[in-house]
Structure 1
Amino acid sequence: MARKLVQIDESKCSGCGLCAGACHEGAIGMVNGKAKLLKKELCDGMGDCLPVCPTGAIAFEESGSRPWPVQIKLVSPAARFFQEADLLIAADCTAYAYGGFHGEFMKDRVVLIGCPKLDSVDYSEKLSEVLGINEVKSVTVLRMEVPCCGGIERAVKAALSKSGKEIPLQVVTVSTQGDLLER
């Protein structure tokens, strides 16, 4: 298994120090007014530093890996992997309910996941930031047929509206039996 490590883009770092404070392992510190990964061996790859970075200077990278984090609540709207991306916004359950999730939906897409029922947040604000500051090429929503998944679809549609951009949207629904209902 490849290991994920913090990558800090010094040109984007404002020197606020929020990431160093959020890093419970002490892997990140401040050097000459910029955040630095000081101790690679302490970086746990969990990403407590990511959501506090106001400039999107922090990302996790590994060779051949997918962008991380994938939780809508944790991702920085300014993360560079959103530029020119085809975005998949998926309800948590879809990856488990639909066997073709990885092969059919993740390929060549940046993936964000969430559960509007369990997270009890309105994703539309974060998603409208992502769409507003990045040149996203397309958005696919993958949701379950259950009513609570309607929240993720509504949040994406609200975010698209708030962004003021014309971004192609596709909504695909997975049945509770694991079949695709709409395409």
Structure 2
Amino acid sequence: MVRRVIHIDQEKCNGCGICANACHEGAIGIVDGKAQLLRDDYCDGLGDCLPTCPTGAITFVEREAAAYDEEAVKAHMERRKQEQAAGHGSVSHTEPAKEAVAFTGCPGSRARQISHEETDAAQNEAPAAPLHLQSQLTNWPVQIKLAPVRAPYFNKARLLIAADCTAYAYANFHQEFLKGKVALIGCPKLDDVDYSEKLTEIIQNNDIQSVTIVRMEVPCCGGLQHAAMTALQNSGKFIPWQVVTISVDGKILDQAF
């Protein structure tokens, strides 16, 4: 039958996983870092996922598709509920190959344990007295949602737009990234807001000297990077910028200018 179902533009998708969480039928999963419609009969065509997509990658199309199957959806969601209750970070389905996906939620939510190797020198050294480091935070509030559009500290500021988790993952965050900068932090997966509008106002209404975006490697952090880049473009200003990507085990993976 020909009916309305969603279509996901793989080039626009940043793999943030917000649409997968918004879909009450579990019709969307993350496959190789991109959102995909898992099965036609899971999609009810109502489009709860559309307004949540930060990049506009999701649209409706009219095409030949299997009819929406409410019973299949119920069975699918019950399996997911049981797997999550059992504490499994990955999903192994026995349904058709079209649903072969390692993890149906946002990859950034996948549970993982991190271990850090100590060097031989560090293992042999005697315990040292605790080192008390000075915080490099110079502004408050730091949450993007709470920050004022105009504040004295934005004058000639070097702006740091960072994902919440980066300061926990990267040990030297204060010295390497925060020192000498004005910080704004957020998490696009948790905050139900379009950061780009607020960031555009801040950049437009203040003399910002540079912008550094520090994000985690997980796909949902792409929403923060996208918002910051959109704000830079919409501000109409030419401002030096860079993007730094941190791995979940605390390493710098990439720096783009």
TM-score normalised according to structure 1 size:
0.64
Q: Which whole-Å CA distance do the structure 2 matches of 1:67 and 1:128 have between them?
A: 19
Q: Does 1:74 align with 2:146?
A: yes
Gaps of 5+ in 2: 1-135
8 A contact 2:137–2:178 mirrored in 1: no
Q: How well do the aligned residues superpose, as a CA RMSD in angstroms?
A: 1.2
- Residue 163 of structure 1 corresponds to 235
Using the aligned pairs only, state the percent identity: 60
Shift of 1:65: 6.5
Kindly tell me: are residues 167 and 177 of structure 1, through their superposed partners in 2, closer, same or farther at Cα, counting changes over 3 Å? same
| Paired residues for 1:96-115 under 5 Å | 96-115=168-187
| Paired residues for 1:97-176 under 5 Å | 97-176=169-248
8 A contact 2:159–2:211 mirrored in 1: yes
How many aligned residue pairs are there? 120
Correspondence for 2:161 among 58, 64, 89 = 89
Shift of 1:75: 0.5
2:153 counterpart letter in structure 1: F
Shift of 1:178: 0.8
Name the larger-Rg structure.
2
Q: Which whole-Å CA distance do the structure 1 matches of 2:148 and 2:169 have between them?
A: 27
8 A contact 2:194–2:227 mirrored in 1: yes
Q: Which whole-Å CA distance do the structure 1 matches of 2:193 and 2:165 have between them?
A: 17
Kindly tell me: are residues 65 and 143 of structure 1, through their superposed partners in 2, closer, same or farther at Cα, counting changes over 3 Å? closer
Residues 85-143 of structure 1, C-alpha deviations (whole Å, 9 max, x = no match): 00000000000011011111111000010000001211000000000010100000000
8 A contact 2:246–2:253 mirrored in 1: yes
TM-score normalised according to structure 2 size:
0.46
